[in-house]
Structure 1
Amino acid sequence: MPVRGPPGRVGVVIEVNELTKNYGGRTAVDHLSFTVRPGQVTGFLGPNGAGKTTTLRMILGLDRPTEGTATVHGIPFHHHPRGLRHVGALLDAGQVHGGRSATVHLSALARSNGIPLRRVGEVLQEVGLAEAARRRIGGFSLGMKQRLGIAAALLGDPPVLVFDEPINGMDPEGVLWVRRLFRRLAAEGRTVFLSSHLMAEMENTADHLVVIGQGRLIAAESVRSFAARSTRPSVLVRTPQAAELTALLTAAGAAVEPEGSAGAERLAVTGLPADRIGALAFEHGIQLQELTTRSASLEEAFMELTADSVEYLAGEAR
């Protein structure tokens, strides 16, 4: 049974204002401000150690900020009675009692939050775990535990949903299911906030991005706008003389990566515009069968725009 948001339960906003968290002499989150709005999937990105999980924990009242505020519908989350009716969250799929069944686990959450027990069966059906409802969670795969965590987040039919790396351990069918679920929940008017390190999946799922590095805000904008900020768009070239063209373009200062296909080979070229590539090929008698400028991918833009915020590079501390 699909989860449907009842009237009056949508339109809730997450607001983070000058949020700061210090651990001893280290600042994990540094005066961070952004807003997560309903009706869209908002992706939360940043290099490892950027402060994403710490930020999510402060939004959910699990960690106390050193400074600043994080509110849901205008008040801190821990002030909301029966929290699962207001915010559903999955931060760590492994944090469940392995000796309990899925039904027992969700029933305990339902009782403590004043949620009708019929919702347990509904959400287990929704996430595809109905047949495993009475199995011990300790025997679940990681993908099944992720589904159970999503079921727990959906249990209270909340207007706000927060997920930290929810597709780790999912098979391709599960990834596609999660993508469709999140987009449907957002289309119902809910606020969906999703952290993931998988750029391709975020590109296919999110509408808006919040990007942080070393605890500070880098960007808060649409996926398309963020990708367009990259200064290194690539040019796709298809030619039967790939080796000759690669040598020529490399000598001219371009970076060339093969994208092989049957017949003529495809090359991804960065560092030279399409008109310059075409002119060089013409001057040297190299046949081109395709010459197309491509905007940067989300991954390319992310790597470029967060380069100064990466804590470790190939084992070298920064």
Structure 2
Amino acid sequence: MAASPTTGRGRPDSLDHMIRLTSLTRRYGRTTAVHDLTLTVRSGHVTGFLGPNGAGKSTTLRMILGLTAPTSGTVTVDGVRFRDRPRGLRHVGALLDAADVQGGRGAEAHLRALARSNGIPRSRVDATLREVGLAGVARRRVGGFSLGMRQRLGIAAALLGDPPVVLFDEPFNGLDPEGVRWVRGLFRELAGQGRTVFVSSHLMSEMEHCVDRLVVIGRGRLLADQSLAEFAATSGGSTVSVRTPQEGALTARLTAEGGVVRAEDDGTVTVTGLSAARVGDLAAAHRIPVHELVTRTPSLEQAFMALTATSVEHRAGEVAR
């Protein structure tokens, strides 16, 4: 189900629509879901929001939207609490749960109701349905939609007010490959227009393809707030892969230099503690031929697992005690 390339969107009137969290905390009895969270999500980027189950991501998104009140601290969008805006969809669009739609309504009727309550022109309903690829089923009841179609409708609702800030929770669920590719492009387009795009998902492979920056939390606390490249480099640690016909000689030289060397089943050796440039210089200095020399940066998933290893609430395979 292809989406129309025609968006009908303009650029935001400001290029600095920030989400700002300051000492944000939410407690449920003795449980602290979010603890003293301070961060700024800036415009012009696709910012990924990651964390293990129970990390506090959903609670944080709900507090941004005024659906859950913080126990302490503040959260504002463009300097104002979302709940203080009478026509919120003009300022912030969000998809939190694609299933949270009245199934007896048609897609068009659902968006029209949202448009009327937020003072949004009716023309935006038609334009948004075309954009997400649902124009052909606009009057079909949402209860008969597949999960992927519901996801598209949820995205349409988030875009309806042409907002400068958009939040998406698990936006890839139920989408086919074409839909996933379209969503990636949509996020890039929105950020390129100067909007603030904040995306939460457990699908690391998709996040790796579409985000510029990452915010990671664990047990309600901030663990990382940095670019994707910085996160992969600092959280997982880079290694150097070397292929040489004189493995023993090179291993001895690298070990003497302080490197840690591990032989791999494919005939290469993995080196940690030394850069690729230093490995190459040592090999050249001792006339050891090198057939392959590659720096390997960990995947987003590997870096994420390393960073959050002590923050996982429920670990599979553990024996109950």
Q: How far apart are residue 296 of structure 1 and its match? A: 1.7
- CA displacement, residues 98-145 of structure 1 (integer Å, 9 cap, x when unaligned): 111100110110111111111111001001111111111111111111
Deviations 1:21-67 (A, max 9, x none): 10111000000010011111111111111000100000000000001
Q: Does 1:218 align with 2:223?
A: yes
Aligned partner of 2:135 in structure 1 is: 130
Shift of 1:11: 2.2
- SS of residue matched to 1:174: helix
TM-score, normalised to structure 1, is: 0.85
Q: 1:126 to 1:239 in 2, by over 3 A?
A: farther
Q: Kindly report the root-mean-square deviation, in angstroms, between the aligned alpha carbons of the 2 structures.
A: 3.0
Question: In 1, are the aligned partners of 2:12 and 2:195 still within 8 Å (CA)?
Answer: no
Deviations 1:240-285 (A, max 9, x none): 9xxxxxxxxxxx97485x7xxxxxx5879576867889x99xxxx9
User: Residue 219 of structure 1: SS of its match in structure 2?
Assistant: strand
Q: Which residue of 1 aligns with 2:17?
A: 12
> How many angstroms does 1:89 deviate by?
0.2
Q: In structure 2, the residue corresponding to 1:308 is in which secondary structure?
A: coil
* Unmatched segments (≥5 aa) in structure 1: 241-251, 259-264
User: CA 1:6 to 1:229, structure 2 compared with 1: closer, same or farther past 3 Å?
Assistant: closer
Identify which of 288, 312, 315 aligns with 2:314.
312
Distance of 1:148 and 1:269 partners within structure 2: 47
Out of 226-235 and 192-201, give the one that drifted further: 226-235
Question: How many pairs align?
Answer: 300
Aligned twin of 2:159? 154
What is the aligned partner in structure 2 of residue 199 from structure 1?
204
Change (3 A) 1:93 1:304: same
CA 1:166–1:288: 2 relative to 1, 3 Å:
same
Residue 295 (1) aligns with residue 304 (2): no
Q: 1:97 maps to which residue?
A: 102
Q: Distance in 2 between matches of 1:193 and 1:34?
A: 13
**Distance (Å, rounded) in 1 between the aligned partners of 2:317 and 2:243:** 37
Quickly say closer, same or farther: Cα 1:289–1:158, change in 2 above 3 A.
same
| Inter-partner Cα distance in structure 2 for 1:105 and 1:75 | 27
Q: For the Cα contact (< 8 Å) 2:240–2:270, is it kept in 1?
A: yes
The one of 161, 173, 180 equivalent to 1:168 is: 173
Moved more, 266-275 or 104-113: 266-275
Structure 1 segment 34-49 matched on structure 2, within 5 A = 34-49=39-54
Change (3 A) 1:104 1:231: closer
Q: 1:253 to 1:182 in 2, by over 3 A?
A: same
Q: Which runs of 5+ in 2 are unaligned?
A: 1-5, 246-259
* 2:150 paired with 1:145: yes
Going from structure 1 to structure 2, the CA distance change for 1:137 and 1:269 (only over 3 Å counts) comes to farther
Deviations 1:136-190 (A, max 9, x none): 1111111111110000000000010000110111111111100000010010011
Which of 26, 36, 41 is the matching residue for 1:31?
Answer: 36
CA contact (8 A) 1:9 1:158 kept: no
Alignment of 1:48-87 (within 5 A): 48-87=53-92
Query: Is residue 90–residue 153 contact of structure 1 (8 Å, CA) maintained in 2?
Result: yes
Provide the rounded CA distance (Å) in 2 between the counterparts of 1:141 and 1:118: 25
Given residue 53 of structure 1, which amino acid in structure 2 is its aligned partner?
Answer: S
Q: Report the Cα distance in structure 1 between the residues aligned to 2:267 and 2:144, rounded to whole angstroms.
A: 46
Structure 2 counterpart of 1:104, one-letter code: A
Alignment TM-score, normalising by the size of structure 2: 0.84
